[in-house]
A and B are shown apart, each in its own frame.
Chain A
Amino acid sequence: MECSLKVAHFERNGGSVWSGICTNVAYNSLVGVARTFNTYVNPLSPLVELATGKSVESDFTEEKSRVVSGAEGVMAFIPGGKIAGTAAKTVEKAIFKTASKRSTQGGLNLFKWGAPQTTKATGWKAGDYMLHLPNKGTPKLNWQANYRALRREMGLGKPIFDSYRLPDGNLIPTGGFLNAERSVLQGRGWIFNSGSGAWMPPGF
C-alpha cells in the first residue's frame, strides 16, 4: 500500500501539508521506522499513523483518525525542527531567543487533544512540535509521564507555546492535562504572553 493513496484521503480532511513528505515514502518502510523509534517522544509516529491510518500504539492494528495523526505529526516535520546535542542546543537557544521574539520560530506547543486548533493544517511556525507520549493506561500514569516531559522541556528555558487559543490570541479555558500544564507553568513563574501565544520562562 503506498502512502500517496492515503495522503489523498488526508487532503480531503484538512490540508495538503503532507503531500510533499508522504508521496515518496512506502507504507512498509514507514511502519518499520515507527516500530524502531516509537519510544518516549517519537515525532515519526504521527507521520506513520497518518500514512497508514493505524495507531502505532496498537502496533498498527487499530484505526486512527488521520486528522489527529496529521496534527501530531505536523509539529515534528516542519523544516527547522528540533536540533539534537548539547552544542547544537546552545546554538539553538541563542537562535531561538532572537527568533521567538520575532515570532517566526516555533517550539513546543501545548495542545488540547482532538481540538480543531490542534488539528489545523496551517498557521504553524518552523520548528513547532508537540509531545506525543505513549498511553500508559491510566490518567494518573499518563499525567506523571506528561509532567516529567513538561518539566524537562521547561528546563530548556525556551518559550512554550499554547496552541489552544482563539484566533484573537486569547487562551481558551479548559480542563484536563492542558489546564494542569498551564498551572504548572504558572506555578513556576512562567508568564503567558498573549502577543506571541507563548509562556515565557522567568527572566526571559
Chain B
Amino acid sequence: MEFNQLILEKLHPLFTEHGLTIAEESKDIVKYESKELIILLVHNPREKSNTLWVSSNLLNSVEIDNELMQKFFNSDLKLSNLPKEIFINNVFLFFISEGEKLLDADKRVLTALVEFNEQRSKEFTANLVERQYLEAANKAWYEGSYSDVVRYLEKVSKDNLSASFKQKYKIAQKRLSN
C-alpha cells in the first residue's frame, strides 16, 4: 500500500478528530493542518525512509526522530529507520500516548519542543564546528603551520581543549613569537 493510503487508513480518523485537515497530499507526502498545528509526514522513495515533522509554524518545524522521542517524550517508540507500515503504526501509537498533548496543539508542549530542538541544533552545530577546528588544527600542527594552529584553536572554547591541544597551542604561539 502507498504511503498516503496507509496514512489515510491509520492516521486520518485520529487527526480529523483533533480538527486537522489535509492541506497537501501526494503518494509520498501528506500534510495536515489546523489553525494551531501542522503535521507533515514524508516518505522518501530514494532512501526508503520516513519522517514526521510537527510544528505550529512551518519554519520552526521539528523533526521527531528517535533521539527526540527518547529525550523529550521519554518514549521508547522508534520513528527512524523503519518500514513505512511500522512507521505509520508507531506514529499512531505516539499520538495516542506521549504525543497526545501535541496533537491537541498544547502551546506549552509545542513551545518546549521547539526550544528543545533549537538547543539540540545549537549543540550539534557547535560540536561539529569545534571538532572541525580541532581536526584542522591537528593537520596544521603536522604541517608545521603554526599560525593556523593558533588560528583554529582560538576558535574552540578553552574548556573543550584537551591538555594535548593546550600544549600545542602554547608551542605554536612560542614558535610564532620567535
Contacts and interface: CB of A to CB of B under 8 A. Distances in A.
A103 interface: no
B156 interface: no
Interface in B58-89: 58-61, 63, 65, 67, 80-81
B121 A170 contact: yes
Contacts, number: 112
A114 B46 contact: no
Contacts of A173: 65, 67, 120-121, 124
A189 B139 CA distance: 10
A139 B46 CA distance: 6
Interface of A: 13, 62-65, 67-68, 112-117, 120, 133, 135, 138-139, 142-143, 146, 165-177, 186, 189, 191-192, 194
18 contacts: A113-B42, A115-B53, A115-B63, A120-B59, A135-B45, A143-B47, A146-B46, A168-B121, A169-B125, A170-B118, A170-B121, A171-B121, A174-B65, A175-B80, A175-B81, A176-B49, A192-B129, A194-B129
Interface of B: 23-29, 31, 40, 42, 44-49, 51, 53, 55, 58-61, 63, 65, 67, 80-81, 117-118, 120-122, 124-125, 128-129, 131-133, 135-136, 139
